[in-house]
Amino acid sequence: MEEIERALGYTFKDKNLLRLALTHKSATHSNKNCYERLEFLGDAALELAVSKYLFVHFPELSEGELTNIRAAVVCSQTLSKVAEKLNLKNHIIFGKREKMEKFHENKSILADVLEAIFGAIFIESGFDIVEKIIVNLLKPYIQKAVTGKLFYDYKTKLQEIVQREGNKKIVYKDCEIIEKKYFKSELFIEGKKVSEGYGTSKKEAQQDAAYKFLLEMGEQEE
């Protein structure tokens, strides 16, 4: 957990609070002993921090533009990227079954845990502290969103690339896993499996699969 604290630039006084923020419900018999309640709080702190930053620093933007930019910044795709840079996936506490399903690779879970950590910091040190941490972590993504460079339609991007190379057949095979809450999507091109993705919906899982293949092809930045 010290690795996470160093990356955040914040040291928890109560280590059990950080541990709770890292605990998936599969590892406990009670929803009160997992990260979900902290995630609820962290989500609210995140939205307020990003909203305030956008309002103060971009007075030329309309309400609609501010709303769209905020949505791109606080979505699970962006948050999971931040979580990956913090190496959260190696610290999340899962039940054995979820580890077998490779849930540590699930972007939605990474995003949820990051929000839970924000919630834990808010509980321990208040909004001003967690606001600074949120802005520090998300400022590069805010800048990209403002300039229109935060792009997440990986399926369309992949389709365009494949069409340029001869219009090969792309197929996504989806299945629902683990208590009907998460989805897995396998990406096939010309009948060959090239990647797989995870998400809380079929659409999100397909986007994740396309993103991973684009990364492998060198067509997408992390």
Active-site choice (5, 60, 115, 219)? 115
Question: 3-state DSSP call for residue 91?
Answer: coil
Q: Which of 189, 148, 198 is nearest to 170 (CA)?
A: 189
Give the Cα separation of 185 and 64 in Å (integer). 33
Please confirm, yes or no, whether 101 is among the known catalytic residues: no
Which residues, in sequence order, are CB contacts of 45 under 8 Å at separation 6+? 118, 119, 122, 127, 130, 131, 134
Residue 91: is it exposed, middle or buried by C-beta count within 10 angstroms (0-12/13-18/19+)? middle
Please state at what angle helix 36-57 crosses helix 63-74, rounded to 10 degrees: 140
Taking the CB of residue 11, how many other CB atoms lie within 10 A of it?
A: 11
Please confirm, yes or no, whether 43 is among the known catalytic residues: yes
Active-site choice (3, 5, 14, 43)? 43
Residue 192: is it exposed, middle or buried by C-beta count within 10 angstroms (0-12/13-18/19+)? exposed
Residue 115, marked binder? yes
Ramachandran quadrant class, 196 (left: phi over 0; alpha: psi -120 to 50; beta: rest): beta
Strands (E), 67-181: 170-177
Residue 196, marked binder? no
Residue 23: is it exposed, middle or buried by C-beta count within 10 angstroms (0-12/13-18/19+)? buried
Residue 124, marked binder? no
Residue set of the binding site for Mg(2+): 39, 112, 115
Residue set of the binding site: 39, 112, 115
Active site residues: 43, 115
